[in-house]
Amino acid sequence: MRSALQRLGLTAVVLVVLYALWEGFKWFGEATAFRLGTFEVNDRTLPHVHDIVGQLFEPSRRNGPLLIEVLGDATLFTAKEAAVGFLMGAVFGFAIGVVLAHSRLLQRGFMPYIVASQTVPILAIAPMVVIWLGGRGLPDWFSVSVIAAYLTFFPVTINTLRGLHAVDRRALDLMRSYAGGAWPILWKLRVPASMPYLFSALKVSATASVVGAIIGELPASIQSGLGGAILNFNQYYATSPASLWATNLIAALLGIAFFLAVVGAEKLVVRRAPENVA
């Protein structure tokens, strides 16, 4: 309980510091007419934090629902896409890591292509995925989940491969001395040893899946998620910049929620492992 209160207090302090830095920079920029190239500090380029938060409780349009209600529905839609993509990417990346860990030949042959796949801009991949999967009886949002999975699988693959090779050599030799086969060694020795590496990758992939889902909604012409909301409020940024900033804030909170979900799972799986409980 005390530890939880300390973390809560630290979070509050960090938020206050960030608020002070934001408002302090805005005050300094407006007081000194500070410019950074073409960037000028004013209410349009840098709204007040209280204006951004307050915009959430204003109607999204005339006589329409509150912005927070609209963004709440959009967040749930994007969260569904990101969660499915995260699961697909995590499973796919883990499977690739396991296969490559058992074959040096496959590792040398396929690893350059796996790395190269991440050098292609997601904005170039997304339209192709939408066209490939369109009209095949799948939900419209499934192509967005595939795009999210594309951003998810790479860190999982790399860290799974590293974790499977991080096993204690003495434990490995002991398992082999007792005629342990590849399958028992994998699940009883290699996989448990790889958990810290795997969860480190999942933390990165969790937020990446949210980014992939938001970006993937644009070429898929999906208006029900945060990507559609960002595109919509981007058109009215000149007259209502706080709406776009509020949408970005909600998107960031969704990414944080995914990250915290992985942290919670890590505590249940890793810290309750037999070697950590003894």
Residues 6+ apart with CB under 8 A from 111: 100
Q: Which residues of the chain have pLDDT under 70?
A: 1, 178-180, 271-278
Q: What is the pLDDT of residue 72?
A: 94
Nearest 5 degrees, angle CA 271-CA 273-CA 278?
Answer: 95
CA dihedral 80, 86, 88, 92 (to 10 degrees): 180
Instruction: Give the per-residue pLDDT at 81.
Output: 95
pLDDT digits (tens, 9 = 90+) for 235-262: 888 888 999 999 999 999 999 999 999 9
